[in-house]
Amino acid sequence: MIDILETVRKDQGELVALRRHFHEHPELSKQEDQTLAYIAETLKGYGISYRIIDKGGLIAWIDGKGPGKTLLLRADVDALPIEEGEKNLSRPRVCRSQDHGVMHACGHDGHMAMQLMAAKWLNRWKDQWDGTVVLMFERGEEESGPLEYLLRYLETDSPWHIDACYATHVRWDIPAGKVAICHEAPMAGGFGFEIRIDGHGGHGSRPDLAESPIDCFHDFYGNMQALRMRAVPPKECLTFSIGSLHSGDVLNVIPNSLIFAGTCRFFSYDHAGKRFYEEFKRILANACQTYDCRYDILHMPEPLFEVQNNPVCVGIAEKAVEKYIGTDALTDCTPWMASETFAITSRLYPGVLTFTGIENKEKGCGANHHTPEFDLDEDGLTYGAATCLGFALEYLSQKPDIPFQRPDEPLDKLVARNI
Instruction: Please give the annotated binding residues for Mn(2+), written as ranges.
Output: 106, 108, 142, 169, 370
**Alpha-carbon torsion, ordered 220, 223, 224, 226, to 10 deg:** 170
- Please return the burial class of 156, using the count of CB atoms within 10 Å of its CB with bins 0-12, 13-18 and 19+: exposed
The partner residues of 365 in beta bridges, in order of sequence, read 360
Cα–Cα distances (Å) from 76 to 120, 246, 289, 325, 341, in that order, read: 18, 33, 44, 24, 9
Q: Which residues on neighbouring strands pair with residue 355, listed in sequence order?
A: 169, 180
List the binding residues: 106, 108, 142, 169, 370
How big is the chain by its Cα radius of gyration, in Å?
23
393 by Cβ neighbours in 10 Å (0-12 / 13-18 / 19+) ranks as buried
Residue 395's contacts (CB-CB under 8 Å, 6 or more residues apart) are 69, 71, 164, 166, 313, 316
CA distance 417 to 410: 11
Backbone angles phi, psi at 106, to 5 degrees: -120, -5
The residue type of 305 is F
